[in-house]
Structure 1
């Protein structure tokens, strides 16, 4: 709070002393740079437009390198070719990483930083997830979409057993930070089978405490009435029977289950849960399951699972 107050006082002082230098800008450049580096990225950005005297310090590499993750150089070194564009300054690099995720680990993950804090964000590509029946063309198909950051996404053709799991090592995440995981996906005109039954999502350390909840994957907060379960034969055939036998009137969704939200990039996301990273070298696992209802499901397109910081409630 004191740092934020200091920034406000500095701005006020600069505005009031338009005809002369303030005591702050009269300090040696090294001192001004050190002070700004102890604030935050939003503060530094605001201070860079207060005056020309402050801009040089506020935009300096010494300030913005401190806002980047300590291991940013090794992360960038492993980026895919097209993701390693040249930048002129650490501030430009910071802003680019916050706006344009880079592909790492052979294109199976993306890396970015939260613009407000500089903390690490990752998305695990669908190809790096464990998708039950994912390599069986009858049930899942791998396609390319221009709006995806990854080379391939997984399109659900038809399954009864819907199971997706992803893992990430906690050593990749920022310490003492609360994270949330999100399934990033889209629906199509063929999406079916998620209207009535919620899916079970979870997050937790393997072998440790797991947080589980139920959510809906259908974008609308309405659902169709429950339909009879038909024998598990050929997916599309059964789906057609289910549609013919089921009652299609819409009714309000019950309970407090979450529904997907639209992202700025046009995809949908649903939160899988939260995790506070205490440190260590452990495997964090996230899962999405619907294996109890016995109905056929189809039409979702899975881009991946994103892990990013989230303020604690």
Structure 2
């Protein structure tokens, strides 16, 4: 195999996995040159441009993404790779979401974030109807992988209006509803377990998150938009304030 043209060897390695390519690079000098080529490692990366400075090679970029999130060039999204499975994961910034009345200062303010790769987040001043939507095309995700979508947020000192009635999280694949669940952003009421209400969890980075749904990407599906939302349920609504939206995270879920 070492006598084959380097381009053919690289093309063969590109059809394997990152672990296989890494092992092949240890076999010989000729294999290392082919296994470390951009032809191989571009196959394991999404077609997205990171914010400069860009690593010298595609393999360097792959390794950088394993270390943690990288801000993409539009500054509206970060991307990283799951260290266990190499699945592609993303965070959509608040500016990358649809937020009902988000353009109206009396309802929402855009504030600087000191603890984020994004420059700003959305702070809720006052609304009665809460609606936040986001989406990602499935060709940006890793096939045959289990994913979860999470709203990442904080509560301010004047946080109020989120205890009851609860909101609803919904997840769609194209036009087909994949998941829906009641959610509770407040903390002054503990719903009975039988209601199946999703509740916030504190993250290691100091933010909080709440599940918007889970889905599985198959290996042979038609590509479509995967969309997720958090919005009011029908019925009585209350005045809400004191929520800071960081974004929506789409990450690989652990098995089991």
Q: Distance in 2 between matches of 1:202 and 1:288?
A: 7
Question: Counterparts in 2 of 1:296-307, with a 5 A limit?
Answer: 296-307=239-250
SS class of match (1:107): coil
Question: Would you say the 8 A contact 1:168–1:283 is kept in 2?
Answer: yes
Deviation at 1:309, TM superposition (A): 1.3
- The answer to whether 1:183 aligns with 2:155 is no
Q: How many residues align?
A: 240
Question: Counterparts in 2 of 1:126-137, with a 5 A limit?
Answer: 126-137=94-105
TM-score, normalization by structure 1: 0.65
Compared CA separation, residues 266 and 168, structure 1 to 2 (3 A) = same
Q: Distance in 1 between matches of 2:17 and 2:226?
A: 31
Deviations 1:130-177 (A, max 9, x none): 111111111111111111221221001111100001111111111122
Q: Which runs of 5+ in 2 are unaligned?
A: 3-11
Q: Say which structure is richer in helix.
A: 1
Question: Counterparts in 2 of 1:202-241, with a 5 A limit?
Answer: 202-218=170-186, 220=187, 223-224=188-189
Q: Distance in 1 between matches of 2:229 and 2:179?
A: 10
Question: Would you say the 8 A contact 1:40–1:117 is kept in 2?
Answer: no
Specify the alignment match of 2:207 in structure 1.
267
Deviations 1:198-255 (A, max 9, x none): 210011113113310012113x4xx25xxxxxxxxxxxxxxxxxxxxxxxxxxx4323
Q: Say which structure is richer in strand.
A: 2
Q: Which runs of 5+ in 1 are unaligned?
A: 1-27, 29-33, 48-52, 225-251
- The answer to whether 1:72 aligns with 2:45 is yes
Q: Choose which of 205, 225, 248 in structure 2 pairs with 1:283.
A: 225
SS class of match (2:176): coil
Q: Distance in 2 between matches of 1:303 and 1:121?
A: 16
TM-score, normalization by structure 2: 0.78
Coordinate RMSD, CA, aligned: 3.4
Compared CA separation, residues 280 and 92, structure 1 to 2 (3 A) = same
